[in-house]
Structure 1
């Protein structure tokens, strides 16, 4: 099932729409899983593989494009507007979607990367109906993320490091040379599957077409964070999460152990942590079968 959910947004003089797609049957008796994509502003395509859970575990899966990207309403006129692009906007959008799908009384959430930031913030508010939480390849603190990324960056070839630094200092991060240098980092720490899976490539292509949300909240790249999320941290609020939680990352992930460890340390509920030995940032592609097993088993087990 595919559809759109109308969403009235303060400060916007038109009705916005959130696009979504449901895999499986929401009335099958199993708790549906809502997948929050990353970015912010990287469309849903790259998380479509998580719909494998319908076949492997009979779990209904819902993917959607957050406001500002993909098939949902784009708002390019809000580029750089940090007062508009806020976490609360996306929290409100999620609540609205849950109401629209009539699942607000019983659902699970899987948030990938930025989606995990959004999912953790959402969970700290103890929303009704949230049964289980998966924080996949995400971060508890942006300063910790940048620190880890800078360490990984030091392992890149010297000429690549020089290119990145040069363009960041000169403010020319939109140049092809900078993007080519970023691709070297991405091939090691974002997606190690070569060639890049079609769905992942599609998300990157769509981000390039409209980077409004990403540039406003993050910046020009994964490791040059100059947007509104620059000082973001959920660590002080993690004790408020009161549902069973699964933390995931990859051995080669830009979400290094130091970045996700606070989730494991500070969430007081039943929390588990698994690292995919042969993956970086997208183990749902890099170790797809094992990923579905770990996620599906966590969502299906009695607790």
Structure 2
């Protein structure tokens, strides 16, 4: 499918925590159409691979304003490689999203789309029941990291034996920064993460951004999509909606 990435109407930065959050707006926030806010994955993958969603702002189509932003610690936002690992947590990114909504003046009415980790963030945002959240789209996101790891283990079991052996060898030795591990990891990624090979430029750019600055990804996730040993390894939202004091359904 061919698509055109539309240019932004404006770009900006908003002060947050120990740095700044960068954002871009495609379309007109003053149009009266409820805007779509896009939360990227990773954490730390940047907005680049989700720019096809600018199509929603096409004046010949739905003409919905689309807001992309880079979460703190990656992309065009402030990088903080020396921050204490405890700094990188879900609440930080929830507060960052709220800060961006307030800055743009859309906190009372917006749609939210989260992809992968962005969907986990979006679900956390949703259970807090922000009054301005009109619609929520969760794309390719787990509701439970333990359940995701269980599924990933099943997919790993289908890899060629030598690939799985390479992965396990380096994980046990804590040498996941090895080129050999990266090559074996790509076998899994080509099968189950992005099946378009070679990866589209925007997807390759997202992976490159994590490789260039893996601080947030390694701290919260781990070295790969299937070897999750970071602070999010026990995360789950499965039982949260029914227990949430903000529940309205």
Pairing partner for 1:121 from 120, 124, 129: 124
> Is residue 2:11 matched to residue 1:2?
yes
* Counterparts of 2:103 and 2:243, CA distance in 1: 26
Q: Residues 44 and 209 of structure 2 are in contact (CA less than 8 Å); yes or no, is this contact kept in structure 1?
A: no
3-state DSSP of counterpart to 2:86: coil
Query: Which residue in the other structure is 1:77 paired with?
Result: 82
Residue-by-residue CA offset, 1:164-186 (whole Å, 9 max, x unaligned): 00100111000001011111111
Residue-by-residue CA offset, 1:192-245 (whole Å, 9 max, x unaligned): 1122111111111111010000000011000111110010011121236899xx
Residue-by-residue CA offset, 1:253-281 (whole Å, 9 max, x unaligned): xxxxxxxxxxxxxx985xxxxxxxxxxxx
* Counterparts of 1:240 and 1:221, CA distance in 2: 31
Q: CA RMSD in A?
A: 1.7
Query: Which residue in the other structure is 1:133 paired with?
Result: 136
Pairing partner for 1:48 from 48, 51, 66: 51
* Counterparts of 1:268 and 1:153, CA distance in 2: 39
> Is residue 2:180 matched to residue 1:177?
yes
The alpha carbon displacement at 1:34 in A equals 0.4
3-state DSSP of counterpart to 2:114: strand
* Counterparts of 1:43 and 1:241, CA distance in 2: 30
* Counterparts of 1:242 and 1:66, CA distance in 2: 27
Query: Which residue in the other structure is 1:37 paired with?
Result: 40
* Counterparts of 2:153 and 2:109, CA distance in 1: 40
Deviates more, 1:46-55 or 1:106-115: 46-55
> Is residue 2:99 matched to residue 1:96?
yes
3-state DSSP of counterpart to 2:227: coil
Query: Which residue in the other structure is 2:70 paired with?
Result: 65
Q: Residues 93 and 121 of structure 2 are in contact (CA less than 8 Å); yes or no, is this contact kept in structure 1?
A: yes
Q: 5+ unaligned residues in a row in structure 1: which ranges?
A: 244-266, 270-303
> Is residue 2:148 matched to residue 1:145?
yes
Q: 5+ unaligned residues in a row in structure 2: which ranges?
A: 1-9
Q: Provide the aligned length of Structure 1 versus Structure 2.
A: 238
C-alpha distance 240-61 of structure 1, shift in aligned 2 (>3 A): farther
Q: Residues 53 and 59 of structure 1 are in contact (CA less than 8 Å); yes or no, is this contact kept in structure 2?
A: yes
3-state DSSP of counterpart to 1:181: helix
* Counterparts of 1:186 and 1:82, CA distance in 2: 26
TM-score, normalised relative to structure 2: 0.92
Equivalent positions of 1:124-273 (< 5 A) are: 124-239=127-242
C-alpha distance 164-196 of structure 1, shift in aligned 2 (>3 A): same
Query: Which residue in the other structure is 1:262 paired with?
Result: none
C-alpha distance 161-148 of structure 1, shift in aligned 2 (>3 A): same
3-state DSSP of counterpart to 2:37: strand
* Counterparts of 1:166 and 1:72, CA distance in 2: 35
* Counterparts of 1:94 and 1:241, CA distance in 2: 19
Q: Residues 46 and 206 of structure 2 are in contact (CA less than 8 Å); yes or no, is this contact kept in structure 1?
A: yes
* Counterparts of 2:22 and 2:73, CA distance in 1: 11
Query: Which residue in the other structure is 1:106 paired with?
Result: 109
Query: Which residue in the other structure is 1:17 paired with?
Result: 20
